[in-house]
Structure 1
Amino acid sequence: MSSDLRTTPLFALHQRLSARMVPFAGYAMPVQYPQGLMAEHLHTRKAAGLFDVSHMGQLLLRGPDAAAALESLMPVDVIGLGLHKQRYGLLLNEQGGILDDLMFVNRGDDLFLIVNGACKEGDIAHIQKHIGQRCEVVPLPDRGLLALQGPQAATALARLIPGVTSLVFMTGNHFDWQGHALYITRSGYTGEDGFEISVPSNAAEALAQALLAQPEVAPIGLGARNSLRLEAGLCLYGNDIDTTTTPIEGALNWAIQKVRRPGGEREGGFPGAAIVLAQLQNPQQLTRKRVGLVALERIPVREPAVLENMDGQHIGHITSGLLSPTLNQPIALAYVEPDYAAVDTEIFAMVRGKPVRMKVVATPFVPTNYYRG
């Protein structure tokens, strides 16, 4: 491992747990533990997995104009978000390309944002540049972030923090654990019920150990985090969405609330609005679209495999692909020309020079298990 990699507050714990560490987003991160990726993935689907996501960026926006200011950077409804409600957001450039995807919560006194680890410095600089004069931008480098995911996550976490059972999907609140101020949301990146826990860095390891002491909980690495999110049909920034893809190309129309769409009371007013709203109103303008694919043979298809039609013409490429541990079937996310985006369309992925039959399917590949109350 390179000595110039940053470490999270759980680095020593990962080493004691014999994790295999890899560089990720400038950090030394655990890709898997001795039980292995497959076991970790399946454990999360049936019990509860603990993930170190402290490489992610955490920041606050403060001030009476904070919601309106943030809304000027994203095509989502920030102003109308209720107290302690969480929402998915997209920072866009002037071409409508996605600078990053993020989660944000209205905490009343501030907006709490969680951004991708590899993008956090750029995101903070972008936000500071464009709205720093309208609200206070406060990075939180001294906080860790833990994700506890799986159908038994609530049972395990409630032993330590009983109040968390009051949360439902995409809500959050302030909690206390042994005198440490936590902010917990009921959300995650696996398609399962679960929680993301913002914790002071100096308490992160103790909290992680207390969670791992629960019989349902096992440590889970980046490898299974990736396979879990892909089964849930969730995008990985840098693979499935980036600065060259718009929300509409990325099939993220659902993330744009009615109030920001054509005819809505706060239509437009975000970077790239003319392009994004035109694509939303006229999908025939699109030259490509993100879709889900399953292979009809048991041959894993990985990014960046080329996709072809029946006549051998190039029609797209894979952006994320692997053998699904839950389904025991190859799955992938891909961009294809719009004529090939309809469910049940058959196309070919080129794997080591040979065509593998694939079919367009709806996502998620594995049904989600969010707790909505």
Structure 2
Amino acid sequence: MTDTQQTLLHTPLADLHRECGARMTPFAGYEMPLQFALGVKREHLHTREHAGLFDVSHMGQLMLRGVDADRALEALIPSDIVGLAEGRQRYGLLTNADGGIIDDLMIARHSEGLFLVVNAARKAVDIAHLREHLPTGVSLECLEDRALLALQGPAAEAVLTRLQPAAADMRFMDSQTLEIAGIECIVSRSGYTGEDGYELSIPADRAEALARQLLDFPEVEPIGLGARNSLRLEAGLCLYGNDIDMSTTPLEAGLKWAISPARRPGGARAGGYVGENVIAQQLETGSWSRQRVGLLGEGRAPVREEAPLFSDADAPAGAVTSGVFGPSVDGPVAMGYVDKALAKAGTTVFAEVRGKRLPMTVTRMPFFTPGYKRG
């Protein structure tokens, strides 16, 4: 056994994964299930058609408390946190002085404070960044004793409401504390698949019991990282480290919508966050040179990350950052960065794969219609 294998962390569901026949793999410092008995393609399609249960306990769960904690977080993120209502959640971006993305995260307001979910591979960086910049009077608690489950798919509501009828009243991006099967959980109606569904933050020592109860429903199957990746890519959702990183600004990444109108130039609480100068200039002038786009391939072969992209003039045009065969799209889907002049939907670029140039069409994302419950 290697040192890396010896030092991998495990989630509270590790034993259950093995019992369910998981093929395990290292991911973000954890041993995680790559796939189960169904296999990646059928897990993907099962989630699209019914409901999948994902273990996302490797993600970081944090709580900010204190007077003006929302204003303190707004100094680090170009989102409207002051205006975030209790019981609601918002996607946000921690930015650095160059306007680059330190991490993307979810922020929910609860009566006890701001509940944050951050990426597993960025937990230590995020925590250090927050502790460095948060003022006295605002505390940061790392919720180490909690697991995180995601129940995703069109049958998710029907399943969860059998255990807690109030879950049906939630709409997309609601976040509440609910009792699920007698266990107090922080529940958000959100996810990383493009499907309707929920994420359940739960005490670690109760996670396996709840997971087993959910898996007892015939609509629910355990789903691994492989299908999670193809589901999120079809949904046009970024993976940190692939599609966004410290060198990527929100505008380059196509995440302008994550910069709240109140924080943009001329807004009620414009600026005042780390990286404001760069991001505000890009907002006002449109002065960035590359753009994240969706890419549809031809044939059946997926185009993977790092494949270089070329224009029809045979000039370098960018690179693929994520790519899979999309089971729901029934074809190769990818995202990547191209020269801004090539970012218009319908433009053809060429990916180099094993010495061949394969045509790909720039397209809007997501690659299919999401199933979020907004009403």
* Bucket of the pairwise TM-score, normalised by the shorter protein: over 0.9
Percent identity over the alignment is: 52
Conserved 8 A contact 1:297-1:356: no
Conserved 8 A contact 1:297-1:357: no
Corresponding residue number in structure 1 for 2:370: 368
The match for 2:216 among 188, 207, 213 is: 213
Corresponding residue number in structure 1 for 2:296: 294
Whole-angstrom distance in 2 between the partners of 1:305 and 1:36? 26
Deviates more, 1:129-138 or 1:146-155: 129-138
Corresponding residue number in structure 1 for 2:329: 327
| Displacement after TM superposition at 1:296 (Å) | 2.9
Q: Deviations over 1:154-177 (max 9, x none)?
A: 101111122111110000111123
Conserved 8 A contact 1:63-1:136: yes
Whole-angstrom distance in 2 between the partners of 1:93 and 1:349? 31
1:339 partner letter? A
Whole-angstrom distance in 2 between the partners of 1:200 and 1:279? 43
SS of structure 2 residue aligned to 1:83: coil
Q: Deviations over 1:75-100 (max 9, x none)?
A: 11000001110000000010000000
Superposition RMSD in Å: 1.0
Whole-angstrom distance in 2 between the partners of 1:250 and 1:8? 31
Corresponding residue number in structure 2 for 1:341: 343
| Displacement after TM superposition at 1:108 (Å) | 2.4
Corresponding residue number in structure 1 for 2:58: 55
| Displacement after TM superposition at 1:122 (Å) | 1.2
Conserved 8 A contact 1:53-1:146: yes
| Displacement after TM superposition at 1:265 (Å) | 1.4
2:103 partner letter? D
The match for 1:22 among 20, 25, 31 is: 25
| Displacement after TM superposition at 1:8 (Å) | 0.2
Whether 1:225 aligns to 2:228 is yes
1:115 partner letter? V
Conserved 8 A contact 2:306-2:319: yes
Give the length in aligned residue pairs.
372
Q: Give unmatched runs, 5+ long, in structure 2.
A: none
Whole-angstrom distance in 1 between the partners of 2:111 and 2:261? 23
Matches within 5 A, 1:255-274: 255-274=258-277
Conserved 8 A contact 1:186-1:194: yes
Whole-angstrom distance in 1 between the partners of 2:298 and 2:222? 33
Q: Deviations over 1:18-75 (max 9, x none)?
A: 1000000100000000110000000000000000000000010001210000010001
TM-score by length of 1: 0.98
Whole-angstrom distance in 1 between the partners of 2:254 and 2:136? 33
| Displacement after TM superposition at 1:328 (Å) | 1.2
Matches within 5 A, 1:103-252: 103-252=106-255
Superposition misfits of 4+ residues, deviation over 2 angstroms: 177-180, 296-299
2:190 partner letter? S
| Displacement after TM superposition at 1:3 (Å) | 2.0
Conserved 8 A contact 2:311-2:349: yes
Whole-angstrom distance in 2 between the partners of 1:170 and 1:213? 26
2:36 partner letter? Y
Whether 1:304 aligns to 2:320 is no
| Displacement after TM superposition at 1:178 (Å) | 4.7
Conserved 8 A contact 1:292-1:332: yes
The match for 1:84 among 84, 87, 105 is: 87
Whole-angstrom distance in 2 between the partners of 1:298 and 1:38? 14
| Displacement after TM superposition at 1:179 (Å) | 4.2
SS of structure 2 residue aligned to 1:292: strand
Whether 1:280 aligns to 2:283 is yes
Whole-angstrom distance in 2 between the partners of 1:113 and 1:202? 21
SS of structure 1 residue aligned to 2:6: coil
Conserved 8 A contact 1:69-1:134: no
Whether 1:11 aligns to 2:14 is yes
2:248 partner letter? T
Q: Give unmatched runs, 5+ long, in structure 1.
A: none
Whole-angstrom distance in 2 between the partners of 1:134 and 1:90? 23
The match for 1:69 among 55, 69, 72 is: 72
Q: Deviations over 1:209-255 (max 9, x none)?
A: 00000111000000000000000000001100000000000000011
